[in-house]
């Protein structure tokens, strides 16, 4: 069975004290709220699902949703969204037959974002099926990671209750590279949106505000999340 770097941080991943992650949630909710009515029908595969966000972010009925995650601990969190089925598997090697899902989604899938993941997502979709993904932007992540001295393809996560910090994979790419990867994997109607923190959010993470200060912009002008949409 797959082993996940996120097993170690699963218990705290959704904690309100992790303001950066909650800021990403704020931006994602604001970006996706208007597109719920236009979603395709059929089963929904949520990659790197954790506790599940398809109901919260997209209003999808739980009986349509399959949660897939390489972290068994994430899949067994007590406070989670309901779903039809949970699958402990790697999003880059999905143990399912293809062409089963009307929608593939994934929120903050930077730990495994790349060609393998995108190729598997394409394989899972029915003809004309849609994909919606989010990843942090390199415009935010690169300067932060360079300043704190970690690899650009890595993030650090403070485990507050244990007083320790761990590093986990986090693959960031320029927008043009993301679009190129999607097209190489066979997707069409590709779009990529740059999403900033909503101005209604007053509790801003220092990891975001510090980069904004370096760039000379407000906390609400720096894109922190990409919303990626594409069709098979």
pLDDT tens for 177-190 read 999 999 999 999 99
Can you give the residue range of the structural domain that contains 191?
Answer: 10-231
Residue 98 covered by a domain: yes
Residue 212 covered by a domain: yes
> What is the pLDDT at residue 5?
74
What rounded mean pLDDT belongs to the chain? Answer: 95
Residue 216 covered by a domain: yes
CA–CA dist 141, 145 (Å, integer): 6
> What is the pLDDT at residue 222?
98
* CA separation, residue 170 to residues 16, 76, 104, 110, 114 (Å): 21, 23, 20, 5, 11
Confidence of residue 2 (pLDDT cuts 50, 70, 90): low
Residue 5 covered by a domain: no
State the average pLDDT over residues 41-54.
97
Q: Which of 123, 227, 121 is nearest to 179 (CA)?
A: 227
CA–CA dist 178, 137 (Å, integer): 11
State the average pLDDT over residues 113-125.
98
Q: What is the pLDDT of residues 195-227, one digit of tens each?
A: 999 999 999 999 999 999 999 999 999 999 999
Residue 56 covered by a domain: yes
Contacts of 8 (CB under 8 A, 6+ apart): 159, 166
Residue 4 covered by a domain: no
CA–CA dist 215, 192 (Å, integer): 22
> What is the pLDDT at residue 117?
98
Residue 3 covered by a domain: no
Confidence of residue 3 (pLDDT cuts 50, 70, 90): low
DSSP letter string over 43-107?
A: -EEEET-TT--HHHHH---GGGEEEEES-HHHHT-SS----SEEEE-BTTB--S-SS-EEEEEEE
State the average pLDDT over residues 40-53.
96
Residue 2 covered by a domain: no
State the average pLDDT over residues 92-111.
97
Please check the confidence at residue 122 and state whether its pLDDT lies above 80: yes
> What is the pLDDT at residue 38?
77
| C-alpha dihedral (18, 23, 24, 30), degrees to nearest 10 | 150
Which of the two residues, 40 and 107, has the higher pLDDT score? 107
Check which CATH number belongs to the domain holding 202 and give it: 3.40.50.150
State the average pLDDT over residues 139-149.
96
> What is the pLDDT at residue 131?
97
Q: What is the pLDDT of residues 153-178, one digit of tens each?
A: 999 999 999 999 999 999 999 999 99
- When divided into structural domains, the chain yields a total of 1
Residue 47 · residue 105 · CB < 8 Å: yes
> What is the pLDDT at residue 1?
52
């Amino acid at each position: 069975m797959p082993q996940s770097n996120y097993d170690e941080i699963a218990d705290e991943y959704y904690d309100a004290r992790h303001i950066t992650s909650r800021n990403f949630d704020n931006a994602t909710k604001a970006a996706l709220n208007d597109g719920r009515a236009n979603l395709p029908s059929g089963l929904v595969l949520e990659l790197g699902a954790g506790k599940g966000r398809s109901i919260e972010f997209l209003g999808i009925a739980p009986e349509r949703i399959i949660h897939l995650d390489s972290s068994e601990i994430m899949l067994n969190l007590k406070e989670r969204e309901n779903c039809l089925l949970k699958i402990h598997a790697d999003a880059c090697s999905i143990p399912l037959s293809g062409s089963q899902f009307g929608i593939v989604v994934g929120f903050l899938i930077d730990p495994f974002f790349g060609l393998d993941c995108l190729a598997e997502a394409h394989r899972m979709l029915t003809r004309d099926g849609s994909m919606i993904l989010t990843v942090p932007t390199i415009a935010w992540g690169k300067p932060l990671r360079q300043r704190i001295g970690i690899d650009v393809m890595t993030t650090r996560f403070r485990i507050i209750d244990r007083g320790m910090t761990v590093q986990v994979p986090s693959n960031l790419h320029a927008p043009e590279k993301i679009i190129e990867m999607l097209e190489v994997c066979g997707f069409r109607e590709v779009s990529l949106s740059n999403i900033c923190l909503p101005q209604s959010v007053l509790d801003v993470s220092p990891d975001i505000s510090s980069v904004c200060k370096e760039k000379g912009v407000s906390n609400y002008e720096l894109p922190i999340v990409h919303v990626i949409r594409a069709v098979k």
